[in-house]
Amino acid sequence: MSLDATWVVAWMTAAAAAIADQAPTLNDLDRAIGDGDHGENMNRGFTAVRDAVRELPDGAQPAEVLRASAMKLISSVGGAAGPLYGTALLRASDAVAGLSEVDSAHVLALLEAALGGIEDRGHAAPGDKTMVDAWSVAVDAARSAVAEGRTSAEILDAAADGAESGAETTDAMLPHKGRASYLGERAVGHRDPGAVSTAIILLAAAEAAK
């Protein structure tokens, strides 16, 4: 399918359902190395996003759906994840501004812009045991898929797989950012909840493109 505004709405709706489903898991992961509310916060935020994208007028562009979603996340997630994911979607919106359909090159641009927003906002780099570890592997995988001439849906699949494996690599990492960094060595062996929610969201993007 072509990736138009309907895809973004389907993406956000699928993400909301998956986050709601896995909120207890995200809470558990966060309880181990943070303050235990990542699932609850993300569920509140994506429920608001899901309701907001339903209300958008017909003929809205992908960038408009992304921007509306970003604003909802910023205003309703609470905690650090709101500004981080909100900035990701704001920058993603800028990357596809004016387009009614997102082609494969712009799928990559969208993902790169989202990663850039998260890095700028969180001042985190790969290896810090944050959501950047999922996003950066996802973007690398998407870049390779574009170079191989894959379709948009295949690129999103590659990104989702990359995010999943990037999240897994956070298990062994020592945290350098956020509340988990207060734990130092004790956080090793635990998966970063933000990296896991990233994998959930990017899987939803790929599923929505099918």
Partner 1 sequence: MTAATDRRLVSLVVVSHSDLIAKGVAEVVSQMSPDVVVETAGGTPLGGVGTDVERVMTAIRSAERGAGVVVLTDLGSAVLSAETALELLGDDDVVAVKISDGPLVEGGVAAGVRAQTGGDVDDVLAASLAHVVTRPADSPTSHEDGGSGYLRTATLVNADGLHARPAAEFVKLATSLGVKMTVNGKDARSLLGILSLGLAQGATVDIATDDPGGTAAVDRLIELVESGFSGQR
CA-CA distance, 81 to 131, in Å (whole number)? 10
Q: Which of positions 98-117 make contact with partner 1 (CB under 8 A)?
A: none
User: Which part of the chain contacts partner 1 (CB under 8 A), choosing from 21-29, 73-81, 96-104, 189-197?
Assistant: 73-81
Q: Which CB atom, from 24 or from 78, has the smaller least distance to partner 1?
A: 78
Q: Which of 31, 121, 143, 150 binds partner 1 (CB under 8 A)?
A: 121
Binding track, positions 176-195, relative to partner 1; x by CB under 8 A: --xx----------------
Instruction: Count Cβ atoms below 10 Å from residue 106 Cβ, excluding itself.
Output: 18
- The packing angle between helices 104-122 and 81-95, to 10°, is 150
Whether 42 contacts 198, CB under 8 Å: no
- Nearer Cβ to partner 1 (28/40): 40
Nearer to partner 1, 43 or 152 (CB): 43
H or E element: which one contains 208? helix 193-208
- The reply on whether position 126 binds partner 1 by CB under 8 A is no
Closest CB to partner 1 among 27 and 87?
87
Distance of closest approach, residue 101 Cβ to partner 1, in angstroms = 26
Distance CA 41, CA 69 (A): 15
The 10 Å CB-count burial string (b at 16+, else e) for 138-172 is bbbbbbebbeeebebbbbbbbbbbbbbebbbbbee
Residues at the site binding partner 1, with contacts judged by CB under 8 A? 74-75, 78-80, 82-84, 86-87, 90, 121-122, 178-179
